[in-house]
Structure 1
Amino acid sequence: MRLYDRSRRRRGRLLAFTAAAALVAGAAQAQEQAADGRTVYASAWFAQFAPSNAWDMASRVPGVNVQDGEDVRGFAGAAGNVVINGERPSAKAESLQSILSRIPAAQVVRVELVPGQVIGGEYRSRAQVINVVLSDSADGWSGAAEATVRMPFTRQTALSGGVSALYRKGATSLNLAVEHYRENQPDEGFDLLTARPSGALIERRDKVNRYKPQQDTLSASWAWEPSDGRAAHLNGRAWSWANPLRQTSRVSDAGGPIRFDSIDQVPERRGFEGGGDFSRPLAGGTAKLVTLARRERYQTDEAQLNHTPAGVLTGGFAQSVDNLYGETIGRGTWSRDNLWGWSFETGAEVALNTLDADIRIASVDASGHHTPIPFPGSQVLVEEIRGEAFVSGGRKLTPTLTFDWGAAIETSTISVEAADYERTLTFIKPRASLEWRPDAQWRMRLAVGRTAAQLNFDDFVSNVELATERANGGNVTLEPERTWRLTGEIERKVLGDGAVRLALNSDWVEMVQDRVPVEVLGPDGPDPDSDPDVIDVVDAPGNLGDGRRLWLEAAVGLPLDRFGVAGGRFNARWTLQDSRVRDPYTHKDRDFTFEELWGFSADFRQDLRARNLAWGIVYDAEGALPQYRLNEFDVYNPENTWFRVFVEARPNAQTTITLSANNVLDRALERDRDFYFPNRTTPDPIAHEYRWRTQGVTWALQLKRTFG
């Protein structure tokens, strides 16, 4: 096997291993290299899971979950926690699961769990990064194919599938993939709207929802990776996504006539992304240039219509959305492994981001005629020019103690044409961390740093939620929140290749992004009788002031052979979050809006190697997602739990067949909404809405096959 080293300047040096340092073929135990603290899992270790692709391998690394980067503008902030051959893919729009699923398992030599400072760049602030190391000696074709049939409780089956192929010739490789995803996602249930405090029925809605998501994707990537320190990568991806909804409701109240409502939505996204990078040796280090361009169009036509029991239209509302998103990024870096004893990197990034939003709302009369409703902030053109310069470094202070530091300055100018508004924001973002590895079993890390969240341009635009009958104001004065974060983390290797990890984040947040009241000239929603000269108040994204957040995570990954469960593994992750900010209505402290209070997930898998079978159980539970709005308190999906069970057969080394059942306990989705008048300054609600939806059990049969 050719040795990987950082003489590939920027990409390969962090992979410096001899074959003896990795696990020998057939070993079932992870080994740790004391030199830089990485844990190595040879490809043979993953054979127990019968992987088809790199995703099947990376997602099984004990004690760590694959995490996509944040959906933010720019390149650095969107990094996840996975690299390939020590390098980040020059793509943003594509998930790590999609990228890794295109790499056949036969091309993976090993998977490493590496300290973030060893990877460098935007990964320095991460404690652990998954590095997928590919073979550079297996010329020719390899590939994988997958097909899945899903059947919900309505018995409407849907077929998904994909094919990927990788061709390698010397230092050059070409990867092609096509994917089709389709699913039927039905749910049924009811809404109960009752008066408070009497509990008298105001309205009952019996609902049937039919979602039919579909996505088609075509991807291609090319890599040139000679051994002289140069490298080049190109990638492209085009996608088409749709998720049509048909909702029907039978509406009744305490004594009035029955009516029938319907909601039809046809949301669609079409886009493409192209990117590339080139690196070469320069001044004892490595220079790298990254470019990326993405364009996406989001369109929706939706209508909420009311009918009599005889099917006669009585009226309703309609909304159309036509949003164009654009992003162009250029990024240059220079890094050197040893500059006066430090691993060093510096660089700059510049980006142009745009949103051209056109949202139109209309009332519909009994004859079906549409009358446009003026809605301030629903047509917006946003443009941002953003730049960032950064520098970072790290070194070992002692054989067991590593210090890492970094600083960045970010500036952006945002202009909003419709509001004739422009502003420039500048942030300084320092950070530092200490990591202590006293031996091969223990790892402890302490880090502090300042971050600035990136704004979502959709928050600048006003729209209406027809399904929940509420208006969302846009707010062009929204500012990104700034956070000082102190992180403590401790990890212990147990039972050979098992791990236990505990992490605590303490955040001090300035300018908390939440929901606030915003004044606009009426009308503030789908009400054609509103006086356009009257100032109305709508609920919109905004800043509340200072807040704090505590976030605790505990994770465990354990082999169970020593407990008498041959081939068994158990993984679990538990999170607990507590946040506090001053509410603008009640003037009391409360949680941040729409941040999950707690979550728990666990999975058990047993591989019966003698029979080429496996089975397992996956469990997910999540706490409430509270949302504090102008005149309501909305709690989505409180205390919900989900179970998935599966059985897996492996007729041969290249084929895997999996039968699974999701939501086997038929747990329902729930939602509670308290309404206040005129807003939440009133201490007691005037009405309560309870929503209940069952999704039933979904069966799936999946076939995976590898080639080459």
Structure 2
Amino acid sequence: MAGQAGIAHAQDTQDTQDTRGVDTLPRDASVEEQMPQSRAVAREVYTAADFARFAPRNALDLIQQIPGFDVDQGGGGGRGFGQASENLLINGERVSSKSTSTADLLARIPVGNVVRVEVVDGAMLDIPGLSGRVANIIVLQGAVSGQFRWRPEWNTLSAPAQWFEGEISLTGSIGGVDYTLALENRDFARGRIGPSIITTADGVVDARINEASTLFNRPNISGFFSFDIAPEVEVNLNLTGGIEIFDAEEQEFREASSPLPPFVERFVTDSDEWYYEIGGDITFPVGPGQLKVIALESFDHRDRITNSLLDTAGLPTSGSQFIRVADQGERIGRGEYSWGMWGADFQVSAEAAFNRLDQDGRLFDYDPAAASFAEVEFPGGAGGVREDRYEALLSVGFPLTDNLSIQLVGGAEYSQISQTGANARSRIFRRPKGSIGLAWTPTDGLDVNFELARTVGQLSFGDFLASVDLSEEQANAGNSDLRPQQNWDIKLEIAKNFGEFGSATLALFDEQIEDLVLILPVAGGGEARGNIEAARRTGANLLGTLQLAPLGVEGAQLEVSVRWEQSQLIDPVTLAERRFDGNDPFEISLDFRHDIPRTDWAYGWNFQDTERAPSFRVEQESFEYGPSTSGSFFVEHKDVLGATANLQLGNIFNGPDTLLRTVYDGPRGSSPVLFTENRRRDRGQTITLTLTGSF
């Protein structure tokens, strides 16, 4: 049968691994009867015991150790639900939430609640939008239990200690309601310092020192509830809310040895946000199939203030202030009706999504006489954007032969985008969309997936309105003529199971793009985001896991990831062919881990090297990136008072943050160089302690 190689591999691994400390559900008949059954044939099947040497704490720990499998979060950030995009399912279902991913939920499911993990071909499922390898996690609710993760971090340079990164969650059942409650904070602290060399066109060298710090906290609370209100009528409810606090400071000053007059320039950003999401779904039988109805309401309020002040010897203080207050909301209603007929799986779906952005952007100049900021005219900074979007799709999936299946999806999208403010207007877009997916298993242990898709992108509402970045000395005008991007996407994925040696997945893709959004010159001067007619992006991703036990190193593995991309577009300024902005052409990553047999100790290292690509604006070309060559080393103990403790040293090669910028005295390609900037700021090493456990 298809999938025997994967199942056999999982069983062989289970026989040789140390299974101490891994709690799994009892395999009695009553439990087996409760297990949800997948319609697709599983190519590989794993249980918690197959990964016992890693001492997994939750369901996500299991997924992250599947050989040759990489978690795809689906990109996120889009409006509406649309088709499935993550390559993770829980009990054969996608999660009806946008603020919390499937991976987030899996991190809150105790490993003891996991029955098994099935790796299946997306085109064989009755869920439109899935292709390639998909992990379906089969779970059953158990007794009340909790998970915790605490991740403090220290920096060897100037960044403050990061004490509050972590999460605590509780899952269980009461009164017939399965629940998961979580309190989480995402904590981020960075400090950077180093030289910034400005060289003017006439050869004057301006040596400066730049230092910056960033503090970020995003605490939130969430609840997920599942219950049956009648036989075969399932309800899920999702609630999330929280705040975000972001503070950034940057200071640049001339070195004392500089012959130029002393100066100090300061940038301060203060951003506060609060948000919530309420969503849910209900599934019930209708006629020969099942109807799933999904609803969601979300809202986000952000208040952001950025100040810049420049003090130069002998000159009055100058500066600017930009204030942006934005309210963004979304309402979604979606229905999915699925049924089986003529040996095929059918689904018809319809969705309505209503999105809104109201922005008040205001610009100020510093008045040294009054020692305060005075407002100046800022056209296009205030206004609103509304989008009413409707989508309807029909999908059908069926086997063509015993080892070849096909999934067909077809439909269309209708959207009306309206803008208020200085450039008020309304436009309507009608776009076809759909896909053809094939899943082929020519032999046991070899899976081939192919997809051809017509996709429609979504616009960022902020691009319709004007904005300013004071620290980068950049301003974008608003553009009410933006059009959504459209793609013809071709994907080919080949997954090979090499038995005891591991597995590998090769993905090839080609994207033919219409209406790509990037920075364009504006008539009369300035720049804004706009569309170009055509562009192309191609590439390959290779992900493999090599088990080293057959080579004599028991408990060790090496994960290899290689990414290559090529892209072409006609530069709207120079009319020459170039890459996409920041489209890095090559990256390789190596992850080694050794779980020492018959002990609770593990250690490992990571190495990553990236070839960088530039980004472009009308009057500048720049490279801006973190360490291109990076590495880390960790040591782990799996039983520190019942918890797993992982201590990691990061950025061991001391890679800096780099900015290489060439600014022209007018449009690139036809104007002389005004100045160049070479900035390299040290980040220091990080020391990170991660404690994970259960209670």
Rounded to whole Å, the distance in 1 between the matches of 2:411 and 2:501 is 37
| Aligned-pair CA distance for 1:486 | 1.7
Which residue of 2 is the match for residue 539 of structure 1? 527
Which residue of 2 is the match for residue 92 of structure 1? 98
**TM-score normalised to structure 1 length:** 0.89
Cα 1:511–1:299 shift into 2, 3 Å: same
Which residue of 1 is the match for residue 584 of structure 2? 596
Cα 1:305–1:638 shift into 2, 3 Å: closer
1:260 aligns with 2:248: no
Does structure 2 retain, via aligned residues, the 8 Å contact 1:377–1:474? yes
| Aligned-pair CA distance for 1:635 | 1.7
Rounded to whole Å, the distance in 2 between the matches of 1:84 and 1:368 is 58
Which residue of 1 is the match for residue 621 of structure 2? 633
Does structure 1 retain, via aligned residues, the 8 Å contact 2:10–2:44? no
Picking from 45, 51, 60, the partner of 1:46 is 51
Cα 1:20–1:680 shift into 2, 3 Å: closer
Does structure 2 retain, via aligned residues, the 8 Å contact 1:251–1:261? no
Corresponding residue SS for 1:566 = coil
Corresponding residue SS for 1:476 = coil
Judge which range, 215-224 or 484-493, deviates more: 484-493
Which residue of 1 is the match for residue 232 of structure 2? 229
Rounded to whole Å, the distance in 2 between the matches of 1:134 and 1:489 is 28
Corresponding residue SS for 2:450 = strand
Cα 1:128–1:659 shift into 2, 3 Å: same
Rounded to whole Å, the distance in 1 between the matches of 2:598 and 2:418 is 64
| Aligned CA-pair RMSD | 2.5
Which residue of 2 is the match for residue 376 of structure 1? 379
Which residue of 1 is the match for residue 301 of structure 2? 297
Corresponding residue SS for 2:261 = coil
Rounded to whole Å, the distance in 1 between the matches of 2:129 and 2:434 is 15
Which residue of 2 is the match for residue 508 of structure 1? 512
Which residue of 1 is the match for residue 246 of structure 2? 243
Which residue of 2 is the match for residue 6 of structure 1? none
1:344 aligns with 2:349: no
Picking from 667, 679, 683, the partner of 1:691 is 679
| Aligned-pair CA distance for 1:697 | 0.4
Picking from 60, 69, 75, the partner of 2:74 is 69
Does structure 2 retain, via aligned residues, the 8 Å contact 1:28–1:44? no
Rounded to whole Å, the distance in 2 between the matches of 1:260 and 1:228 is 70
1:438 aligns with 2:442: yes
Cα 1:20–1:674 shift into 2, 3 Å: closer
Does structure 2 retain, via aligned residues, the 8 Å contact 1:23–1:42? no
Does structure 2 retain, via aligned residues, the 8 Å contact 1:620–1:642? yes
Rounded to whole Å, the distance in 1 between the matches of 2:13 and 2:503 is 22
Which residue of 2 is the match for residue 285 of structure 1? 289
Judge which range, 221-230 or 360-369, deviates more: 221-230
Corresponding residue SS for 1:545 = strand
**TM-score normalised to structure 2 length:** 0.91
Does structure 1 retain, via aligned residues, the 8 Å contact 2:627–2:657? no
Q: 1:377-410 deviations in whole A, cap 9, x for unaligned?
A: 2112001100000011111111011111111200
Does structure 1 retain, via aligned residues, the 8 Å contact 2:500–2:550? no
1:147 aligns with 2:150: yes
Cα 1:205–1:227 shift into 2, 3 Å: farther
5+ residue gaps, structure 2? 1-6, 18-37
Q: 1:20-44 deviations in whole A, cap 9, x for unaligned?
A: 9995994469xxx997243111111
Corresponding residue SS for 1:544 = strand
| Aligned-pair CA distance for 1:654 | 4.3
Cα 1:27–1:475 shift into 2, 3 Å: farther
Which residue of 1 is the match for residue 418 of structure 2? 415
Corresponding residue SS for 1:93 = coil
Which residue of 1 is the match for residue 161 of structure 2? 157
Corresponding residue SS for 2:568 = strand
1:104 aligns with 2:92: no
Aligned AA for 1:590? R
Rounded to whole Å, the distance in 2 between the matches of 1:243 and 1:661 is 25
Aligned AA for 1:342? A
Which residue of 2 is the match for residue 13 of structure 1? none
Judge which range, 51-60 or 81-90, deviates more: 51-60
Rounded to whole Å, the distance in 2 between the matches of 1:133 and 1:485 is 31
Rounded to whole Å, the distance in 2 between the matches of 1:414 and 1:191 is 43
| Aligned-pair CA distance for 1:508 | 1.3
Which residue of 2 is the match for residue 332 of structure 1? 335
Corresponding residue SS for 1:696 = coil
Cα 1:26–1:254 shift into 2, 3 Å: closer
Which residue of 1 is the match for residue 556 of structure 2? 568
Rounded to whole Å, the distance in 2 between the matches of 1:611 and 1:461 is 59
| Aligned-pair CA distance for 1:325 | 0.6
Corresponding residue SS for 1:266 = strand
Cα 1:24–1:550 shift into 2, 3 Å: closer
Rounded to whole Å, the distance in 2 between the matches of 1:155 and 1:585 is 39
Q: 1:551-600 deviations in whole A, cap 9, x for unaligned?
A: 21111112111111211111121111111111122111111223332222
Cα 1:564–1:62 shift into 2, 3 Å: same
Q: 1:71-93 deviations in whole A, cap 9, x for unaligned?
A: 11111257322111111111102
Does structure 1 retain, via aligned residues, the 8 Å contact 2:623–2:659? yes
Aligned AA for 2:555? G
Rounded to whole Å, the distance in 2 between the matches of 1:155 and 1:468 is 22
Which residue of 1 is the match for residue 547 of structure 2? 559
What are the within-5 Å matches in structure 2 for residues 618-697 of structure 1? 618-637=606-625, 640-651=628-639, 654-682=642-670, 685-697=673-685
Does structure 2 retain, via aligned residues, the 8 Å contact 1:625–1:637? no
Which residue of 2 is the match for residue 395 of structure 1? 398
Aligned AA for 1:100? L
Rounded to whole Å, the distance in 2 between the matches of 1:559 and 1:45 is 13
Percent of aligned pairs with the same amino acid? 28
Rounded to whole Å, the distance in 2 between the matches of 1:243 and 1:49 is 35
Cα 1:77–1:91 shift into 2, 3 Å: same
Count of aligned pairs: 664
